[in-house]
Amino acid sequence: MIGGLFCYNHKGEVLISRVYRDDIGRNAVDAFRVNVIHARGQVRSPVTNIARTSYFHIKRSNLWLAAVTKQNVNATMVFEFLLKVVEVMQNYFGKISEENVKNNFVLIYELLDEIVDFGYPQNTDTGVLKTFITQQGVKSVTKEEQAAITSQVTGQIGWRREGIKYRRNELFLDVMEYVNLLMSPQGQVLSAHVAGKILMKSYLSGMPECKFGINDKIAMDSKGKPAEESKTKSAIAIDDCQFHQCVKLSKFETEHSISFIPPDGEHELMRYRTTKDISLPFRVIPLVREVGRSKLEVKVVVKSSFKPSLLAQKLEIRIPTPLNTSGVQLICMKGKAKYKASENAIVWKIKRMGGMKESQISAEIELLETETKKKWTRPPISMNFEVPFAPSGFKVRYLKVFEPKLNYSDHDVIKWVRYIGRSGLYETRC
């Protein structure tokens, strides 16, 4: 039970304050400001207990969003809810910023009234919310429409309304993966995992029932032909996954098949995580040499290890520099490199890079001798990139659409599948 929801700007001024339950007093708003936003030391914990009241906060671009409660609630539920609130707001008015929140506060209060009732989160699906909370002025709703909204919000399939019609039935599927890596200077993988999600954009008529097949090891084994398929190694082991509310979980549990009636428009169908057999797209090889007390030589090699036919984009390698750097000279074979004093790092950017290639940068860092004998801790070198494949090996095997009432079949639907691999926290120690 969420007692209330507050939104502050970076100065701690209250932008939005909505209290759902009586046990949250007026001073709760100030308590969070005083004890967290204006705290002397930075508050790292996302959950703060102040005078028997719990505050759960997240930060989004200089805004603080805090849920407050006096009860013993499920903390993960609250954070999930906060993230949903952010998502809903983004869907309504784009980027979350102080400006936007101020401009849309009437809408935000309207949304907050709808998505939480007496502290219990309700429907947070933007698609549904948009049917009755619109941004175009006041529109008188007819009785039938009102009834339709009520039956839909309270009905079994709350995420999709009836009577949707498209001339062209289309369906887009994005497999988006984030690779996280921590590697030792010698090239040993210390930890690696992939967090993936499947985003689906559907423009389908009627109430179509979809069936979705992936190369999950368990699902494929249960299909009865384990011998041949798992030998080809195309199946992957998914550590854990979660689905959009439209997926019928009972069916997934019994038959390992993913079937659902999708919401109209965009939604996140599935989220998953894998830790085994990840194909790492890049390797970073650092070489650091200290020349006396006033100089440091750094050489970094980046090697791509995927099919030469593919092209990685938006590469950015960030090499941290010591805090007493007084000057940097850089030579790089490809791309552009710059010393960014404001971030205490050398940033090396490469627009594109093919598979099975390598590139190198060398830097001479001059140091200023200082009072303190503190040794520089050498933070890891981090990297950002985007590649057109799924590093976990995830594959969409099929996506079938059935709509028994309308006369279009699976073949009439145009389907698009795209794989994107991005860097999460991709770091190499040096």
Partner 1 sequence: MPAVRGDGMRGLAVFISDIRNCKSKEAEIKRINKELANIRSKFKGDKTLDGYQKKKYVCKLLFIFLLGHDIDFGQIEAVNLLSSNKYTEKQIGYLFISVLISGNSELIQLIVQSIKNDLASRNPVHVSLALQCIANIGSKDMAEAFGQEIPKLLVSGDTLDVVKQSAALCLLRLFRTDPSVIPSGEWTSRIVHLLNDQHMGVVTAAASLIDALVKKNPEEYKGCISLAVSRLSRIVTSSYTDFQDYTYYFVPAPWLSVKLLRLLQNYPPPEDPGVRGRLSECLETILNKAQEPPKSKKIQHSNAKNAVLFEAISLIIHNDSEPNLLVRACNQLGQFLSHRETNLRYLALESMCILATSEFSHEAVKKHQETVINALKTERDVSVRQRAVDLLYAMCDKSNAEEIVLEMLAYLETADYSIREEMVLKVAILAEKYATDYKWYVDVILNLIRLAGDYVSEEVWYRVIQIVINRDDVQGYAAKTVFEALQAQACHENMVKVGGYILGEFGNLIAGDARSSPAVQLQLLHSKFHLCSSMTRALLLSTYVKFVNLFPEIKSHVEEIFVADSNLRSADAELQQRASEYLALSKLTSLDVLATVLEEMPPFPEKESSGLLNLLKKKRPGRVIENPDRLDEHVKKEPRETNGTSGLTLASNTEQEGGSADLLGLGVPSAGNGNGPTTNGAGAVTNNIQKFYCKNNGVLYENDIIQIGVKTECRSNLARLALFYGNKTNHPFMNFQPNVSASPALSLAILLQVKQVDSTVEAGAQFQQMVNVECVNDFDEQPDLNLVYNYNGAPQTVNIKLPISINKFIEPTEMNGEAFFSRWKNLSLPAQESQKIFKAAHPMEATDSTKAKLIGYGFQLLENIDPNPDNYVCAGIIHTRSLQIGCLLRLEPNKQAQIYRLTTRSSREAVSQHISAVLCQQF
Residues in contact with partner 1 by the rule CB under 8 A: 10, 62, 323-327, 341-344, 366, 368-372, 374
> What span, in angstroms and rounded, lies between the C-alpha atoms of 412 and 204?
11
Residue number, 321 or 392, with CB nearest to partner 1: 321
Residue number, 323 or 356, with CB nearest to partner 1: 323
Query: Residue 97 CB, nearest distance to partner 1 (Å)?
Result: 10
> What span, in angstroms and rounded, lies between the C-alpha atoms of 394 and 174?
12
Residue number, 313 or 370, with CB nearest to partner 1: 370
Query: Residue 376 CB, nearest distance to partner 1 (Å)?
Result: 12
Query: Residue 229 CB, nearest distance to partner 1 (Å)?
Result: 49
Describe the crossing of helices 75-93 and 105-115 by its angle, rounded to 10 degrees: 140
CA dihedral sign, ordered 68, 69, 75, 80: negative
Query: Residue 271 CB, nearest distance to partner 1 (Å)?
Result: 29
Residue number, 1 or 337, with CB nearest to partner 1: 337
Query: Residue 35 CB, nearest distance to partner 1 (Å)?
Result: 17
Residue number, 49 or 62, with CB nearest to partner 1: 62
Residue number, 97 or 275, with CB nearest to partner 1: 97
SS3 assignment for the chain: CCCEEEEECCCCCEEEEEECCCCCCCHHHHHHHHHHHCCCCCCCCCEEEECCEEEEEEEECCEEEEEEECCCCCHHHHHHHHHHHHHHHHHHHCCCCHHHHHHCHHHHHHHHHHHEECCEECCCCHHHHHHHCCCCCCCCCCHHHHHHHHHHHHCCCCCCCCCCCCCCCEEEEEEEEEEEEEECCCCCEEEEEEEEEEEEEEECCCCCEEEEEECEHHHHHHCCCHHHHHHCCCCECCCEEEECCCECHHHHHHHCCEEECCCCEEEEEEEEEECCCCCCCEEEEEEEEEECCCEEEEEEEEEECCCCCCEEEEEEEEEECCCCEEEEEEEECCCEEEEEHHHCEEEEEEEEEECCCEEEEEEEEEECCCCCCCCCCCCCEEEEEEECCCCCCCCEEEEEEECCCCCCCHHHCEEEEEEEEEEEEEEECC
Residue number, 44 or 374, with CB nearest to partner 1: 374
Query: Residue 321 CB, nearest distance to partner 1 (Å)?
Result: 9
Residue number, 366 or 412, with CB nearest to partner 1: 366
Query: Residue 64 CB, nearest distance to partner 1 (Å)?
Result: 11
Structure tokens given for 115: 């998505």
Query: Residue 339 CB, nearest distance to partner 1 (Å)?
Result: 8
Residue number, 11 or 378, with CB nearest to partner 1: 11
Query: Residue 84 CB, nearest distance to partner 1 (Å)?
Result: 25
Residue number, 185 or 379, with CB nearest to partner 1: 379
Query: Residue 217 CB, nearest distance to partner 1 (Å)?
Result: 43
